[in-house]
Amino acid sequence: MNSLFQGIYNHFSANTTTGFYNDVSGRMYLGQAPQGATFPYCVYFSVSDIDELDFSEEREDFLLQFNIFSQNNSALEAGNLLESLKTMFDNCSLTVTGWRHLQFKRSMVHPNSDFTQVPPIQGYSIDYDILLEKER
């Protein structure tokens, strides 16, 4: 699965001057953000059961989630981050070592905000279905 996570990060960092990479200033973390991370940032991780995704099958189909976070009194920044992430990843084509990428399809978006913080943390959780096939 490391090759998939590396492929996602490589796609993210392919252009460091514009788009989603620039919008989060390169702050995209695997698993969780470090304590005290500067806003805005993104965290990505597999939502699927890891035991079932051992990359031993001919095809692997699983769910990945991106969480974007903004600490801004306006929902505008979080909304712009969402649109920028969708532009970068909706139906993108990944390079994953040893695998042929078949699909990267957005399946769900839902708000992920914490209004108890000052300023509030506003964000979204975005799920993608990913399908890979072993190279032959």
* Cα–Cα distance measured from residue 103 to residue 58, given in angstroms and rounded to the nearest whole number: 15
Task: Judge whether residue 85 has pLDDT over 80.
Answer: yes
Name the nearest CA neighbour of 120 among 82, 81, 69. 69
- For the record, the structure tokens of 132 come out as 């890979």
pLDDT-based confidence at residue 55 (cuts at 50, 70, 90): low
Q: What is the mean pLDDT of residues 94-110?
A: 93
Domain count, the chain: 1
3-47 pLDDT, tens digit per residue, is 899 999 999 999 888 899 999 999 999 999 999 999 999 999 999
Domain of 6? 2-134
* Cα–Cα distance measured from residue 74 to residue 71, given in angstroms and rounded to the nearest whole number: 9
Say what the pTM is. 0.90
Task: Report the CATH number that the domain containing residue 96 is assigned in CATH.
Answer: 3.30.2000.30
Dihedral angle, C-alpha 86, 87, 92, 96, nearest 10 °: -80
The distance of Cα 112 from the centroid of its chain, to the nearest Å, equals 14
